[in-house]
Amino acid sequence: MRTLPGLSLKSELVQDNAPARVVANVYIGSIHAAFNQDGLAQRGITHVLNASGLPATFPRAFTYFNVDIRDREDAAILGALGATAVFIDAGVEKGGVLVHCAGGRSRSAAIIAGYLMAKHAYTFDRALEALRVVRPVVAINKGFEQQLRAFEATRFDLFKSNQMMLRARVRTSVCDYVC
């Protein structure tokens, strides 16, 4: 492999194409893992939860669920957790599910963290640790983290955690004008 003078490749930035197992039949990965049809099949993956914003790669080979969420701190990840949990459960029951976004770092990790919290009573910190053990590049954005911590604080009640986040936003907005 040739290298260019003055450039080095940092191993933590290299995107892999192998789905990483988080818990039984639940895998996380980047878009590169979603392009690896053989790797998906070898792991018994039947379902792909796609949060990348790109079209399904192998729509005839796998069952897909596309989630339209931007990797931005103001994006509402809580609104997706109910539907994604149902899809992940279906994938687990049928063989396996890959949850991926573009880099396999924030959106997919936040979705799996929410799933682990709701289905396995993980705390946010425990879910994040479980994800980082198998995928060290995981870096859930601050907005998603705040929402998942609200989800934990309300004992995994989506309605109450959404209310909590809304109240926090209203307080911030009011304080911007009054404080």
On the 0-12 / 13-18 / 19+ scale of CB atoms within 10 A, 24 is: exposed
* Residue appearing with tokens 């911590």: 149
Which residue of the set 33, 78, 92, 101 is catalytic? 101
Q: How far is CA 47 from the centre of its chain?
A: 15
Euclidean distance between CA atoms 103 and 31, whole angstroms? 6
Residues 176 and 100: their CA atoms lie apart, in Å, by 36
Backbone conformation region of residue 132, classed left if phi is above 0, alpha if psi is from -120 to 50, else beta: alpha
179 included as an active-site residue: no
Catalytic residues: 101
